Structure 1
């Protein structure tokens, strides 16, 4: 709540969105909205996008530990090295989230939580047993919503890749560096100039661009696995590795649209259409926010 108070005062945002963004630094994109659950249904469009971008631009504390082990291997020194960078990436992404969200959808309405960061939750259960039963039912409903949306979006991406491979690779015989034409491969090459712009050395730009493409199309877990394979080979410079660690540190991918529609839409069904409308914008906002933190990391790496 202290972090939320600072952001609310400095950036002049509402209590609900500042608390949700602060919560996203430590918990996941489906859990953070629960912190401001009473206010989600009445959020302004700008607040709702901020909530979504906050989930896209950060990672949950639980998976952060997994990525530390993935990138650092069995070396405690390397684990500490990547832990500091991953935690820094999530914290830095909080103000970046607000800046980008307000650019994408400026605030033009008055928020019901403007000027306060105190969120009160109305008691809706009679006792501990009722609370446990209600929590279990709500949790199951949320999990089923997320699972159904996730399956649908993964199937959609698989269908797009099947069409691309069928047309370009199997019929036309086109391969890209020995790889079949897929959405993530195409995005990788398209994003290589972006990787260079944020500070990645040009010789590493295609590799990092490919990782960013995989992160957007599939998820950051797959991208971090690929990065963990490249680190021991010495193919990437230290600067490129650090920038990639920051650029991949977020849930901004197509599947997260489904997760947020299922998760946030589960607690505020009246906002489901808005969530779908803002889905791609949230992915864009989350991606730009992580690129901003990666750029700052690249600049500091060059100076130190």
Structure 2
């Protein structure tokens, strides 16, 4: 029964995307089918096979070791201010780890490890799906870098991008997460769900965006000018640049958390003054309950889980993860997995402004276009998150 509901959820998601499509005649059904199969194989491999479990465990172990190293650096600077287990200061214990992960990312870019990996993985995805190289490259790039960085990486290709191609590029940026903050996510959620969300979200973003905004590209326009050399002059400069970028990200996330959590409390206070005992999370829970049940969430948990998913859409994933974290031991394993995968993306209202602002800085005309289809972009990215979470739920 759960499998049938999950399949129905996938059909509903793809059906909504189809209804939103602006060029149904040119949808690449073969490419979409290949990506759906790739999602099934990826999820099955990671959840159902001993090799897949071993891979997840090893990757998780690597991240845990990196978190330990990062914590050592944080402790040296703010050790006297940190609270031991049982308390915990979120900014010190979670967000400052972003600095170390951003440093590693910058060094791997300087050493040409990531650019080469992204180049060939993007090329492989383009080859098997028939999607344009720019969009495929950007989808892979979005796994490792933030929304702004991933888009800036293809700025030299913007003159080739029509509105549909621009939508797909923006959707990949919104539907993914940055590798620099994965360590922070893993401090709050089970590592296996965060890790499986990365490839699932990459494919989901391309699937939904390719239905909503299909593209046909001439070969002469389908070229990717991949920059394989870092701007840093030495490995030490790469470390410094990564640390500074990570510090900015940590401060931005902290500022957004203060604003969103405070605003959420304000909205709840207003709602409760009219409807006693009611919160915006409960309202969002009821709104998302139907799709939540189809995704595989237990009926007894769907209102609370739906509220967390809704909170992520209207605020950001960190706020929602903080709500889910204390419930990990009370929710069923399946619900935790589904909600965790759903939360592991940038699909929220604030991302519209971030992406539109980034594109605006590259090309004012195209930036205005992103602003115009911003709400459609959020709906598409949310459908992608639902697709990824449902796919994970089929194997839990």
Would you call these one fold, judging by a TM-score over 0.5? yes
Q: Tell me what 2:162 maps to.
A: 44
Q: Identify if the C-alpha distance between structure 1 residues 33 and 231 changes in structure 2 by more than 3 Å, giving closer, same or farther.
A: same
Change (3 A) 1:19 1:122: closer
Tell me which of 86, 104, 109 is aligned to 2:212. 104
Tell which deviates more after alignment, 46-55 or 261-270: 261-270
User: Aligned in 2, Cα 1:224/1:164: closer, same or farther, shift over 3 Å?
Assistant: closer
- In structure 1, the residue matched to 2:321 is 224
Contact 2:338–2:393 (Cα < 8 Å) also in 1: yes
CA distance in 1: counterparts of 2:340 and 2:360, whole angstroms: 31
The aligned counterpart of 1:179 is 278
| CA distance in structure 2 between the aligned counterparts of 1:225 and 1:164, rounded to whole angstroms | 17
1:250 aligned partner: 345
1:154-233 to 2 correspondences below 5 Å: 166=270, 169-170=272-273, 173-175=274-276, 178-180=277-279, 182=280, 185-232=282-329
Residues 202 and 163 of structure 1, relative CA distance in 2, 3 Å threshold: closer
Distance 2:387 2:291 in 1: 11
Report the equivalent of 1:76.
none
Q: 1:238 aligns with which of 313, 333, 356?
A: 333
- Which residue number in structure 2 is paired with residue 79 of structure 1? none
For structure 1, the residue ranges without an aligned partner over 5 or more in a row are: 72-81
Query: In structure 2, what is the equivalent of residue 119 of structure 1?
Result: 225
Q: Which of the numbers 283, 287, 293 marks the counterpart of 2:378?
A: 283
SS state at 2:160 partner: coil
Secondary structure of the structure 1 residue equivalent to 2:147: coil
Q: Matched residues in 2 for 1:162 and 1:92: separation?
A: 35
Q: How does 1:34-73 map to 2 (within 5 A)?
A: 34-71=152-189
Q: CA deviation digits over 1:54-103, x for unaligned, max 9?
A: 122111111111010122xxxxxxxxxx3232121111111221110011
Preserved CA contact (<8 Å) 1:188 1:214: no
TM-score by length of 1: 0.75
Question: Which residue is 1:85 aligned to?
Answer: 193
Q: Using the alignment, how far apart are the partners of 1:202 and 1:269 within structure 2?
A: 47
Give matches, 1:138-157, under 5 Å: none
CA drift at 1:169: 4.3
The answer to whether the aligner puts 1:19 opposite 2:116 as a matched pair is no
Secondary structure of residue in 2 paired with 1:251: coil
Residues 271-290 of structure 1 show CA distances to partners (whole Å, capped at 9, x for unaligned) of: 11111022112211111112
Are 1:29 and 1:260, in contact at CA under 8 Å, matched by a contact in 2? yes
CA distance in 1, matches of 2:164, 2:219: 10
Secondary structure of the equivalent of 2:373?
helix
Structure 1 CA distance for aligned equivalents of residues 282 and 332 of structure 2 = 22
Of the structure 1 ranges 245-254 and 287-296, higher mean CA displacement relative to structure 2 is found in: 287-296
Structure 1 Cα separation of the partners of residues 187 and 199 of structure 2: 20
Stretches of structure 2 lacking an aligned partner (at least 5 in a row):
1-118
